[in-house]
Structure 1
Amino acid sequence: MNQHRGLLLALASVCLVSLAQLSMRGSMAALPSLTEAMASPELLRQHVGALAGLLAGIACYGLSMLCWVAALSVLPLGRAYALLSLSYPLVYIAAVVVFGESITWLKSVGIALVMLGVFAIHSRRPDDSRPLAQEES
């Protein structure tokens, strides 16, 4: 049961970090540049929503880290760490849908390879995560 809890926490971390990326991207696209904001602080008052989105993204990163730490308390690092890669396809697909970013053959192949790698790492039962030297004997 702990493995399932750890898996859920790791996946929650992945979702939160993906949401953080999207929130910060949307906010930064809407905010004026730092030099513009420093020259005219009034500009920031006009972009309260974008600032809130930026802070929400930072908060999602914090929550993601809490979920990640909890997941690491029950999952083997080698298996858990591979799950972080799931944020790549999530952010890629969401960036296409939300921000209209381009889909290319090369990006899609790269995402497919990432997914294949995560599947390969997680295709074995958790108790089979012995070092290779022990498997050969």
Structure 2
Amino acid sequence: MKGYLWGAGSVLLVTAAQLLMKWGMVQIPSFSLSVIDVPFIISHLNALVAVFMGLCGYAFSMGCWFFALRYLPLNRAYTLLSLSYALVYIAAVTLPWFNESISLSKTLGGLLILSGVWVIHSKPAQKSH
């Protein structure tokens, strides 16, 4: 059970990280490194903080992932990561500030991912002899 909790933490953190980075990067106009100065940073502080928090989310996600690997077989743990694809899609099409389009093919793809994870994790892990 510990492994699944750590895995869920990793998935939720990486999902939040993706959403934060997407939101932040959309708020920042295209720029070159030469225009980054104090006024630029101050005028885009919320977006830059969101991107930074997304990067931190990835780092914490990796920490959770290390512990998930400690308790789960790799073939079960690794499939949990794909849940973030479906979660990011669901959030991107339902949260108004992302304004992403929903489509039948993307929704079916997300459902296939969720179904695959469910099938892999529905039977107890077989002990190797």
CA distance in 2 between partners of 1:95 and 1:40 (Å):
29
Indicate the SS of the match to 1:33: coil
Indicate the SS of the match to 1:103: coil
Tell whether the 8 Å contact from 1:95 to 1:101 is kept in structure 2 after alignment. yes
After TM superposition, what 4+ stretches of structure 1 lie above 3 angstroms from structure 2?
none
Indicate the SS of the match to 1:125: coil
CA distance in 2 between partners of 1:125 and 1:81 (Å):
16
Tell whether the 8 Å contact from 1:32 to 1:43 is kept in structure 2 after alignment. no
In the TM superposition, what is the alpha-carbon distance from 1:32 to its structure 2 partner?
A: 2.0
In the TM superposition, what is the alpha-carbon distance from 1:33 to its structure 2 partner?
A: 1.5
Tell whether the 8 Å contact from 1:23 to 1:56 is kept in structure 2 after alignment. yes
Q: What residue is the counterpart of 2:117 in the other structure?
A: 118
Change (3 A) 1:56 1:109: same
Q: What residue is the counterpart of 1:70 in the other structure?
A: 67
Q: How many correspondences in the alignment?
A: 126
Amino acid at match of 2:119: A
Q: Give the alignment partner of residue 38 of structure 1, picking from 34, 40, 43.
A: 34
Q: What residue is the counterpart of 2:54 in the other structure?
A: 57
CA distance in 2 between partners of 1:34 and 1:11 (Å):
36
In the TM superposition, what is the alpha-carbon distance from 1:39 to its structure 2 partner?
A: 3.1
RMSD over aligned Cα atoms: 1.5
- Once the two structures are superposed, residues 87-123 of structure 1 have per-residue CA deviations (whole angstroms, 9 ceiling, x without a partner) of 0111001111221211100001111111111011101
Structure 1 unaligned regions, length at least 5 = none
Larger Rg: 1
CA distance in 2 between partners of 1:69 and 1:40 (Å):
35
User: Given the two structures, how large is their TM-score scaled by the length of structure 2?
Assistant: 0.91
CA distance in 2 between partners of 1:39 and 1:69 (Å):
38
Q: What residue is the counterpart of 1:86 in the other structure?
A: 83
Change (3 A) 1:16 1:32: same
Amino acid at match of 2:4: L
Change (3 A) 1:40 1:9: closer
In the TM superposition, what is the alpha-carbon distance from 1:21 to its structure 2 partner?
A: 0.1
In the TM superposition, what is the alpha-carbon distance from 1:58 to its structure 2 partner?
A: 0.3
